[in-house]
Structure 1
Amino acid sequence: MTRASLVLNAGSSSLKFAVYKDGPGTRPAVLRGRIAGIGTEPVFSARDEAGRALPEDQGMQLEEGVGYDPLMASLLDWLNSRQGGVTITAAGHRVVHGGRDHAGPARVDAALLTELATLSPLAPLHQPHNLAAIRAVAAAMPGLPQVACFDTSFHHTQARLSKLFALPRALTEKGIIRYGFHGLSYDYIAGILPDHLDCRAEGRVIVAHLGNGASMCAMKARRSVATSMGFTALAGLMMGQRCGTLDPGIVLYLIREVGMAPEAVEHMLYQESGLLGVSGISNDVELLQASAEPSAREAIDLFCERAACELAALAVTIAGLDAIIFTAGIGENSALVRRLICDRLTWMGVVLDGEANGRSAVRISSPASAVDVLVLPTDEEAVIARSTQALLALQNDEVPSGQIARA
């Protein structure tokens, strides 16, 4: 039996999971998978440690319309039924918003769940589903240690000025500040920078986490100095379906003059804007790149224009720039997006190697470039596994043994 931690990243209609053997240090996942179509027609897929897709006959049979509770019980049973078995000793969860008080992972209990639920309005696309997965694990395996790992924690190193909005001080004291997100991704990249940048890893680095959700983080000494996202995960860069930073007067105009309900405005800003809204076609960059519609290219150009402007602004916070790191789905896979962003930054000394960029090499900057430009895959699940095991070891937890069983 393999003793391992289960890592869960829950969304509105999908659940990503990974299994990591218990033990010190960072190690690869022994299993990764995804369940899509939650609540409608669930589809299960999984890969082993070598990245090989598991045969279909090893997949789970899930009923249509099932929610998190039966789904989680089925997943735990499936893990137990695999040849050799897996003993889950703990569950670690991605939780998008940790608020002001959590600068690191936290052991889940009833009080923490209540606290985190109050933050759901600040991350409506993520927080409720993150917490639903925690509750589902608790229902399937009562007593199993669970740990929440927050996307906001990495940014607690920022100075006060980087967190402030120009609002009345009373609102600041109530917690209306810049929190920043994608911290698990930035934590992972910060950890591997020395492997790729040597002494420059401790210098002035901007990491561009570009996916359907997108943000940037300016680092110095591999710590967060400033980031593009703010109070919610709606601010900063233009994203797949989110608008990014917006004149707040537009929101007031839509409510007062157009007559839109606040809920309708929220839906539009979170789910109908960004690449999808501007193109009128899709939030998928690959589809937009293949499209002959002018609006598709306009959406990509706007995405890259906004990204270049945000990157240049973040460079001010770290007094220059030594390296740019592209990561996440778009950042890792779209040579066009990387080129369009970097072409707007030549005045900063950024020069790409076109051939290296075209094949998504690790280093895509030219030897003539004053700024190193790298493409590094991120691994948020590895950070969650490491943090979960480290926290529980620190607390000297006695973890359950034996095969997985439903309560």
Structure 2
Amino acid sequence: MKTYYYDHSASTPMLPVVIETMSELMKLHYANAAALHRSGADAMKLVDRARASIAERMGAEPSEVVFTSGGTESNNLAIKGTVNKVARTTKHIILSAIEHASVYECVRQLESLGVQSTIVPVDSLGRVNPEDVAKAIRKDTVLVSIMQVNNETGAIQRIREIGDVISTHPQVRFHVDGVQAIGKVPFLWKEWGVHLYTGSAHKFGGPKGMGFLLVKNGIELASLLTGGGQEQGVRSGTHNVPGIVAMSQALRLTLEGRDARRERMFEMRRQLLKRIEDIPELLLNGADADNEDTAPHIINLSYPGMRPEVIIHMLEKQGVLVSSQSACSSKSLLPSRVLLAMGHDAERASGSIRISFGDEHTWNDIEILSDKLKAVVAELRPLERNLK
């Protein structure tokens, strides 16, 4: 049976050419890039070229690119690195109610150490009001962390407007988790007043275990990992040369096709939502089919009263792979924190599935997915009546 993968928000398949590049580099460039011999110098040249390539495509300087192990480390480095660098005794962080766990739980951990935080709300579409950020800023605020695209619903935040608010408070740093945005929606991090921007390779066709944090020149961070002093002393550890080069190649390829991808995925999103309009049990969480103020590759649907794992496993038997919440939280039995923040009740927030598209999907895949959804819901209707 053929498998249809609709879980790109959790992880994208590596691009074939990126796999080939990484494999070849593993064979030829195994030396430590910090070594003084020729092989080490050759490895460092590859790291430097990859850094320059990423910087060019992200609108940054090479010195502003810090390589990490992925989105979680980048988010932790941005938040803890900022907080730990500030000498003042009282420190305050602002974040939204729908941040990824690598931001949300990071802040909770800091709270246990005496850091204070304010969680700003979102509207019914999962969007932060910049005015709420402005009201939350205090004299001891050191950081605002707002994701660009929500990983569960695809809601796009008003980063430019939030950046304008923060720009009037020079002591405040602005961190944006861009993991779900890169290759899908436009970004101009510096022009929008962002100081720290997170990326993760396996969300845009690169390898797992690789990411980066853009750190605007002049912004100082305390390191999380100390040791050999790599990455300007911010992130010690031996460079993963094949992974770094593969990430830079994947980024180049995904950004080259961003506009066409965005248009194509929006049309797929419209078509799928149109095809399942006659399934009353499935409720859309987020922007409707005609609203383009959302990421084009994510659709979040709820079947209130039905556990998401039931739907997911029934679809899997049909060869269709989707997910629930974020991959990091998918095994939790708790309602989605994101959907609760958007004003949905616990029943709806507990019964959501997430569909996320990729470059390999065709119009035929959309037809197959809609047909499978209809078949599964039809099979579940008698079960739902029995549960009631």
Tell me if TM exceeds 0.5. Answer: no
What TM-score results when the alignment is normalised by the length of structure 1? 0.28
- Greater share of residues in strand: 1
What TM-score results when the alignment is normalised by the length of structure 2? 0.29
Structure number with the bigger relative contact order (C-alpha 8 A, sep ≥ 6) is 2
